[in-house]
Amino acid sequence: MKKGIFFIFILISGLLEATLLDSFKVFGVKPNLLLISISLAGLYFDLKWAFVLGIFAGILKDSLGANSFGINVLLFPLWVFLIIELSKKIPIDHNLIRMILIFIIGIFNSIITRLIFFVSGGFVTSLAIFLRVTFLESLYTAAILPLMLKVIKPTIYSVNQ
């Protein structure tokens, strides 16, 4: 049940990113809801299911986006794995720590995505655009996290009870 809800949550996040979030762009940048979703999957599920959810989110993002298919399918489970490993070493209970974590992951996600795109012969984005999008997207995504937690937390807890 909990997994089913999370699948729906990821699906809604993906659809929102491709539709409504365009109206909430800040300096032409919108938050990466799917990155938040898979980060939460890493916090709420065991490795196996978090991996499956990460792959699902990656497929969704790559299907809707213009990047070469597979970048997010590979990256999202990687972030899930890293979050699970990190949560074993340090407690990631506080919202602020989670926000910092999402911010760092967001930056690395952008750098790796662009590097893969560059290596695969894609257009080289100018440094100014790269820095603007990377920094703002990560910041915006981190800022949205508490709101997403407010939505998903009660649902998951109500299912557990």
Would you say 122 or 146 has its CB closer to another protein? 122
Contact between 143 and another protein by CB under 8 A: the answer reads: no
Name every residue whose Cβ is closer than 8 Å to that of residue 139 and which is 6 or more positions away in sequence.
103, 106
Q: Is 28 in the site for another protein (CB under 8 A)?
A: yes
Lookup: tokens for 146: 């508490």
Looking at the Cβ atoms of 67 and 87, the one nearer to another protein is 67
| 66 touches another protein (CB under 8 A) | yes
Q: Minimum Å distance from CB 103 to another protein?
A: 15
Indicate whether 129 belongs to the interface with another protein (CB under 8 A). Answer: yes
The residues, any chain, with a CB within 8 Å of residue 112's CB and separated by 6 or more, are: 75
Question: Which of the stretches 43-51, 94-102, 117-125, 151-159 binds another protein when contact is defined by CB under 8 A?
Answer: 117-125
Q: Using the rule CB under 8 A, is 126 a contact of another protein?
A: yes
CB proximity list for 55: less than 8 A, separation 6 or greater = 73, 76, 77
Token pair for 158: 């109500």
